Amino acid sequence: MQAEVIFLGQLRHPNLVKLVGYCCEDENRLLVYEYMEHGSLENHLFKQIPAVLPWSTRLNIAVGAAKGLAFLHDAEKPVIYRDFKASNILLDSDYKAKLSDFGLAKDGPEGDDTHVSTRVMGTHGYAAPEYIMTGHLTAKSDVYSFGVVLLEILTGRRAVDKTRPNREQSLVEYARPALRDPLRLARIMDPALDGRYSPAAAREAAAVAYRCLSGSPKNRPDMSAVVDALQPLLAAVDDVPVGPVVLFVAPDVDEEEDEKVKVQRRSRKDEQHRRRSRLRTSPKGSPRKPAAGIACRNEEFWLTVTVSEARHAIFDRLAPATAD
Ligand SMILES: Nc1ncnc2c1ncn2[C@@H]1O[C@H](COP(=O)(O)OP(=O)(O)OP(=O)(O)O)[C@@H](O)[C@H]1O
Ligand SMILES: [Mg+2]
């Protein structure tokens, strides 16, 4: 609690949860934080409460959390957070990420010191290997933990999951080798995203995670470099498939034209009926797929498209109307 009050009482940043107040009375301690309406990233990612986190929200959360860590590391008196994990990343009403829980935070090394020596604390699956082995704590330990959370965001898997087969229980061991191979990456991406993510942005984010998870701390980037690498990905939303899009084609008011369409429909129905009868009578026949393209009016079309394709489809249809 002391660490929480000291650090959060002094540090203010849009990506750190605000400590509103605290109270100490005999043995009783109370900390009051700003209320984070959407709870923790952990709940959203793994329990999918209330729904699957969309790709753009995941990226925004990764960037926000990275900014929070970068702020701590670059402060005049640097702070090592030490407990970076999905349950400590809280989400406000706009799904903006804020770091909470500064109970394990430590002042960074001062002067010529390269690290702080501490008793090893933190959470299994997130702590950097050199920190676990030696107790030597640096800002690069946080960078490793960030890499683990980024992996969780990409794959929808927990850092450690004992319910999975042995070789898949440790997320870093399982997923890191796949991060630089686009085909393997596609296979480990969170199935709950249902393919609705930008493959290019996912590859970039995976490359960042790969470097953060380097076994050698000096090969890990600084958090400010991580922010610089992830932030531009927020703009790359054009190649995100948005799932089924329903295009409604409104009916014209031209009655003569309407009559023609009705006649065409009737003849199309007759044709379909004839075709079905043919299929029924021909055991070798197989139903043909409907002709591609957006054909007639007053109908619905269900398409799986990317944002840019949807935009083109919509604007192509709107163009003649707006030109009038
Ligand atoms: N300021 C807050 N606003 C809204 N919900 C919060 C807030 N602080 C914590 N929570 C909720 O309480 C949960 C538990 O937080 P807590 O820090 O006690 O445990 P934890 O992060 O799951 O584990 P650990 O004890 O290792 O930190 C969070 O995951 C979050 O859902
Ligand atoms: Mg916590």
Question: What is the three-state SS of the chain?
Answer: CHHHHHHHHHCCCCCECCEEEEEEECCEEEEEECCCCCCEHHHHHHCCCCCCCCHHHHHHHHHHHHHHHHHHHHCCCCEECCCCCHHHEEECCCCCEEECCCCCCEECCCCCCCCEECCCCCCCCCCCHHHHHHCEECHHHHHHHHHHHHHHHHHCCCCECCCCCHHHCEHHHHHHHHCCCHHHHHHHCCHHHCCCCCHHHHHHHHHHHHHHCCCCHHHCCCHHHHHHHHHHHHHCCCCCEEEEEEEECCCCCCHHHHHHHHHHHHHHHHHHHHHHHHHHHCCCCCCCCCCCCCCCCCCEEEEEEEHHHHHHHHHHHHHHHHHC
174 and 259 assigned to the same domain: no
165 and 108 assigned to the same domain: yes
Ligand number, closest to the Cα atom of 8 = 1
Residues whose CB is under 5 A from ligand 2 (ion)? 88, 101
227 and 247 assigned to the same domain: no
Which residue out of 4, 41, 92, 101 has the highest number of ligand 1 atoms within 8 Å of its CB and is therefore the one to mutate? 101
What are the tokens at 231? Answer: 């932030």
State in Å: Cα 294 to ligand 1 middle. 50
Domain tally, the chain: 2
Catalytic option among 74, 83, 239, 254: 83
185 and 308 assigned to the same domain: no
Residue 301: domain span? 243-271+296-324
80 and 126 assigned to the same domain: yes
Q: What is the pLDDT of residue 128?
A: 94
53 and 37 assigned to the same domain: yes
Residues forming a β-bridge with 16: 99
Domain assignment present for 109: yes
- Whether residue 101 is annotated as binding a ligand: the answer is yes
Calculate the alpha carbon distances from 79 to 10, 88, 139, 148 in Å. Answer: 11, 16, 8, 20
117 and 171 assigned to the same domain: yes
Per-residue pLDDT tens, the chain, 324 aa: give them.
Answer: 666 667 667 788 999 998 887 788 887 878 788 999 999 999 999 987 778 999 999 999 999 999 999 999 998 888 899 899 999 999 999 999 999 987 666 676 666 666 766 666 767 899 999 988 888 889 999 999 999 999 999 999 999 999 999 999 999 999 999 999 999 999 999 999 999 999 999 999 999 999 999 999 999 999 999 999 999 999 876 667 765 555 555 555 566 666 665 666 666 666 666 655 444 433 343 333 444 444 444 454 455 556 566 566 655 555 444 444
Residue 83 annotated among the catalytic residues of the structure: yes
The amino acid occupying position 164 is: R
Q: Which residue among 235, 255, 287 closes a domain?
A: 235
Domain assignment present for 277: no
Nearest to 60 by CA among 197, 179, 233, 242: 233
Domain assignment present for 283: no
For ligand 1, atom 5, the nearest C-alpha belongs to: 39
State in Å: Cα 40 to ligand 1 middle. 7
226 and 127 assigned to the same domain: yes
230 and 256 assigned to the same domain: no
Domain assignment present for 116: yes
Task: Say if strands 89-91 and 97-99 run parallel, antiparallel, or are unpaired.
Answer: antiparallel
Query: How far is it, in rounded angstroms, from Cα 134 to Cα 24?
Result: 35
Which residue out of 36, 40, 101 has the highest number of ligand 1 atoms within 8 Å of its CB and is therefore the one to mutate? 40
State in Å: Cα 226 to ligand 1 middle. 25
For 226-279, write each residue's pLDDT tens digit.
Answer: 999 999 999 876 667 765 555 555 555 566 666 665 666 666 666 666 655 444
138 and 224 assigned to the same domain: yes
Atom of ligand 1 minimally distant from the CA of 42: 29
Domain assignment present for 287: no
State in Å: Cα 13 to ligand 1 middle. 19
- CATH number, residue 217: 1.10.510.10
Q: What is the pLDDT of residue 232?
A: 96
Domain assignment present for 288: no
Provide the 10 A C-beta neighbour count for residue 299: 12
Q: Which residue among 183, 212, 235 closes a domain?
A: 235
- Whether residue 88 is annotated as binding a ligand: the answer is yes
This prediction's pTM: 0.75
Q: What is the pLDDT of residue 76?
A: 86
265 and 230 assigned to the same domain: no
Domain assignment present for 278: no
Pocket around ligand 1 at a 6 A CB cut-off? 17, 33, 35-36, 39-40, 42-43, 87-88, 90, 100-101
For ligand 1, atom 4, the nearest C-alpha belongs to: 36
70 and 196 assigned to the same domain: yes
Query: How far is it, in rounded angstroms, from Cα 248 to Cα 260?
Result: 20
Domain assignment present for 26: yes
Provide the 10 A C-beta neighbour count for residue 296: 10
Atom of ligand 1 minimally distant from the CA of 100: 8
Q: What is the pLDDT of residue 238?
A: 63
